[in-house]
Amino acid sequence: MIAPGALALFGASGRTGRVVLAEALRRGWPVRALVRDALRLRPTPGLELTVGDARDSGAIDSTLRPSVDTPAVRAVLCALGMHDFSVPATDFSDSVRAIVAGMRRQGVRRLVLVASGAALDHPQGGYRGEHDPPEVLRHVIAEHLRNHRTLNQAGEEWGLQWTLMCPLNLVDDIPAGHARRAFERLPEGSGETGMPDLALAMCDLLDDTAAIGQRVGIVSIRPGATEAKSS
């Protein structure tokens, strides 16, 4: 099990990150989170904040190092995303590379990161996101693919124990407990993923050795909905 006080979270103040944070705290895991603005998160028992940029090595090291109140971090959850989908940018993938480098410096190997279904393989070869991606998502898909390559490289070079979550359209109105997930493919069921289901899966998979080095397709079935197959 993940040791108490040993979970770091990047992207805690974002739409997905807040749900992941709530799930981790619900499980009784004290969380150390790196945020740009501490005012975006209310003071909460079990939550320790570091203020800074996820591309800054000093801020990352401060988040991962032991503190007076918590022991060394043993695992990392990352719910970062792209700030502006409309323009090409690498702030997301730059942050992931910096976090991975910081994990290596601090001796932390376990990482669960959010991407999208676009980072899964396509039946015709390459990534799903390389086959006619929606124009509005083209730039963020490029970042997800860069991140998968970063994880693969770190796994091969120094043993990063990564898991990449690959949801579809993220929604907040499907309650937890309606997910289907599969390694290295999209399960059948729907074209959307509930954020509560994603948060549950991320926390569950931290202790699952079978998930190391795997991309995880995850979809949610709306209660009472007629199921449709994912393409």
- pLDDT in the model for residue 137: 93
Tell me how crowded residue 163 is: count the other CB atoms within 10 A of its CB: 23
Q: What is the pLDDT of residues 88-135, one digit of tens each?
A: 999 999 999 999 999 999 999 999 999 999 999 999 999 999 999 889
The reported pTM is 0.94
**What tokens were used for 51?**
């203020």
Q: How far is CA 87 from CA 53, 79, 91, 98, in A?
A: 20, 20, 11, 22
Q: What is the pLDDT of residues 24-43, one digit of tens each?
A: 999 999 899 999 999 999 98
H or E element in which residue 202 lies: helix 195-205
In a domain, residue 231? The reply is: no
In a domain, residue 139? The reply is: yes
Q: What is the pLDDT of residues 192-217, one digit of tens each?
A: 999 999 999 999 999 999 999 999 99
In a domain, residue 162? The reply is: yes
Residue 44 CA, distance from chain mean position: 22
In a domain, residue 47? The reply is: yes
188: three-class secondary structure by DSSP: coil
In a domain, residue 2? The reply is: no
**Residue 138 to residue 151: CA distance in whole angstroms:** 20
In a domain, residue 229? The reply is: no
In a domain, residue 1? The reply is: no
CATH for 196: 3.40.50.720
Q: What is the pLDDT of residues 33-72, one digit of tens each?
A: 999 999 999 989 999 999 999 999 999 999 998 777 667 7
**Residue 101 to residue 107: CA distance in whole angstroms:** 10
State the total domains in the chain.
Answer: 1
- pLDDT in the model for residue 83: 85
Domain of residue 129: give its range. 7-220
Residues whose CB is less than 8 angstroms from the CB of residue 152 and which lie 6 or more positions away in sequence, other chains included: none
- Tokens 């040791």, residue located: 3
Whether the CB-CB separation of 76 and 112 falls below 8 Å is answered with yes
